[in-house]
Chains A and B, each alone.
Chain A
C-alpha cells in the first residue's frame, strides 16, 4: 500500500519533469527568438541588452539537452520569466489568477458533485416516471448547451432584477480590501466584513453554477444509466431475495459500484471545467487562469502560456491522482 503511494508520487514527479521539458521545447520551436520572448518582448534602448541577458539565462549557446535540464531546474525554483501582456512576473500573474479560478471551481464542484449524484440516483430509482423523463430531457439539454450563451443569459437576467454580478468584488470595497490569501471569500472573512463576504459570494455563485452545469448533468446521466443497470446485477437481486432493505440496496449494493466511475468522470470533467471557466470568467469579467490563458494566447505571451498550462496540468495531475486513490478506497478489486 505504501509502495503504491511512493510509486504514484514518483510517477507524478516524472510527469511534471516531462511536462516542464515539453513546455521548454514549446518555447524553443515557437516562431521568433526564444530569448526575445523570454525577456518579455522588450522594446526601446535597453532591449538588446535584455535579450542578450535572456539568451545567456536560457543558455542558448549550450546543447539542447543541457538547455532543457537547466530550464527544468529554473522552472522548479520559480523563475518563470516575465509576462508581456501583464508587464509583471509570470509567477505572480499565474498564481493570483489560479487562486481566483480555484475559488470558482471549488464552489462549482461543491455544488456539482452532490447534485449530480443525487439527480442520477433520483432518476435511476424512478426510471420511466414523468419526473425521470423531464429530468432526462433537461440533462441532455443542459449538458449540451453552450456555457458562454448561458453566461450571457444569466447576466442579462440579473441585469433585469438590477444586479450586475460582474468582477470578483464590488469596486467600493476595493479601497479597504486587502488580499491576504488571494481567495476573496476567505479574505472578506479575515477582514470580518460580512457584507463584503456576501458580495463576493453573490458574484461567485452565478458563474460557479454555470461551470457546474456540465459536470452535474453529465455525471447525473451516467449515474442514472449505470445505477439502473446495477439494480439488475446478480448480487443486488440476491440481496433482494435475502430481504435486504431498499435503502441498504441503493446505498451499499448499487451505488458502491457506480461511485468509483462517477468520481473518475468528475476528475476528467475538470479539464472541460477549466475551459468553461476561461469562457465564463471572460463573460463575467473575472480574473482567472482561463482569462490569463486567453489573454496570453491572443498576445503570443509564451512565458505566461507555458506557466498557465503547467499550473493547470499540475492541478489535473493532483486531482486525478486523488480520484484514483478514492477509487482504490471504494473498489476493493483494484489492485495496487
Chain B
C-alpha cells in the first residue's frame, strides 16, 4: 500500500535494512535507515567505503539482486519497492522512474557495442523507440545536454577518455526519462579539472532539469556543490543529517567532523576551498588567520631565500 502523501515523495525509507547472506548468517550492510526525500530534492549520502552507501544507492535505483536480504520499507517514486523481507517493485522503477550514474563509467559501457548501439538498446527497451534514426536523434539530443558531439555515437567505449565516458554515462542515465537519478561516486575516477565539470553537470540535473538527485560519495567536499541535503552514514546507519550548509558549518557528530577534516574542506565555514582574494594557501593552511584574507607579499630573507606568508612578516 502506498499512501497518497507517499506518492508525492521521491524516496521514502522506513527502518530499511539491506544485508547479504554469508555462510548462513546475514551481514547487514544497511541498518534501519529512515529517510525522506521530496520530489525535486537533492540528497548526498556520505560515508567511507564499506559504510553501505552503495548498497543503499543501488536499492534506491532498484538494483536489488536476489541474494540481498531486506527488512523495513522502501518507496521510490510512489512505487513500493521493499516490503519487509520481500522485494516487490524493483522491476517497475528500474530504468523507468529511476536510473543510476555508475561508479566506474569506463567499465559500465558495453565494450562490444558502439555508443550509438548502447543508446539504441536503452531507448528501445525503456521507451519503445524502435527506429534507429529516431534513436539516433534522441541520443544526439541527450549528448548535447552533457556537451558531447554526435561523433561519439560511432565510437567504441575504449576509444573514449575518462571524462567522455562519464559524460556518456550521464547522458545514458537520462535516456529512459527518469524523474530520479542516483549518482554513485560520480567523481571518484576523475582528475581535479574534470571533477569540477562533472559535479556541475550532475548538480544541474537537479537545479536546471528539476530531477530528484541522490548522490553517493565519500568526498564530503563535493556534496555542497550538488546537493541540498546531507546524510552521513557509518557502518550502515545514518549518524547525522541536515542541510549540507548547516552540517558543514557546524558538524555535530564526531564522525562528520572527521570526514570534513579528511577532505580538503577543513575550513568549510568559509569559502569552500575556492581561491580567495587573500593568501593562495588560505583554505588548506592550519595556521590561517584574519590577516591571510589580504594577499601576503613575497618576503626576501637573504641568501636567496624567499617566502610568501604573513606569519613570517610579523
Contacts and interface: CB of A to CB of B under 8 A. Distances in A.
A245 B104 contact: no
Given A235-B109, A256-B112, A332-B111, A242 B104 contact: no
Q: How large is the interface on A (under 10, 10 to 19, 20 to 34, 35 or more residues)?
A: 20 to 34
B126 interface: yes
B91 to A, nearest CB: 9
A188 to B, nearest CB: 42
Contacts of A256: 110, 112-113
A331 B125 contact: no
With a 10 A CB-CB cut-off, give which of A243, A244, A252 has the most chain B CB atoms. A243
A239 interface: yes
B95 A244 contact: yes
B94 to A, nearest CB: 6
Contacts of A332: 111-112, 156, 158
A326 to B, nearest CB: 13
B63 A242 contact: no
Interface in B83-114: 94-96, 99-100, 102-104, 107-113
Interface in A280-328: none
Contacts of B62: 241
A222 interface: no
Interface in B113-134: 113, 118, 121-122, 125-126
A76 interface: no
Interface string A253-291: 100110000000000000000000000000000000000
A243 B109 CA distance: 14
B89 to A, nearest CB: 14
B186 interface: no
B96 A243 contact: yes
With a 10 A CB-CB cut-off, give which of A235, A245, A248 has the most chain B CB atoms. A235
A256 B113 CA distance: 9
Chain A binding surface SS class? helix
A331 B158 CA distance: 12
A237 B63 contact: yes
Nearest to B159: A332
Nearest to A259: B112
A229 interface: no
A49 interface: no
Nearest to A335: B158
B173 interface: yes
B107 A234 contact: yes
Given A332-B156, A333-B156, A238 B108 contact: yes
A330 B156 CA distance: 13
A233 interface: yes
Contact of B94 (A240, A248, A257, A330): A240
B205 interface: no
Interface residues of B, number: 30
Contact of B126 (A242, A257, A331): A242
A257 B112 contact: yes
B19 interface: no
Contacts of A239: 110, 118, 121-122
Contacts of B102: 234, 237-238, 241
Contacts of A331: 112
A160 B217 CA distance: 71
Nearest to A255: B112
B61 interface: yes
B18 interface: no
B111 A235 contact: yes
B175 interface: yes
B176 interface: yes
A241 B61 contact: yes
Contacts of A330: 112
B128 to A, nearest CB: 11
A245 B110 CA distance: 15
B107 A235 contact: yes
B95 A243 contact: yes
A238 B113 CA distance: 14
Contacts of B268: none
A331 B113 CA distance: 9
B213 interface: no
B178 to A, nearest CB: 9
Contacts of B112: 252, 256-257, 330-332
Contacts of B198: none
Given A234-B103, A234-B108, A241-B99, 5 more contacts: A235-B109, A238-B108, A242-B176, A243-B96, A333-B158
Q: Which 8 A-B pairs have the closest CB atoms?
A: A243-B95, A243-B126, A238-B108, A234-B107, A256-B112, A241-B100, A245-B125, A242-B122
Interface of B: 61-63, 94-96, 99-100, 102-104, 107-113, 118, 121-122, 125-126, 156, 158, 169, 172-173, 175-176
21 contacts: A234-B102, A234-B108, A237-B63, A237-B108, A238-B169, A239-B118, A242-B95, A242-B122, A242-B176, A243-B96, A243-B99, A243-B122, A243-B176, A244-B121, A248-B125, A252-B113, A257-B111, A330-B112, A331-B112, A332-B158, A333-B158
Interface of A: 233-235, 237-245, 248, 252-253, 256-257, 330-333
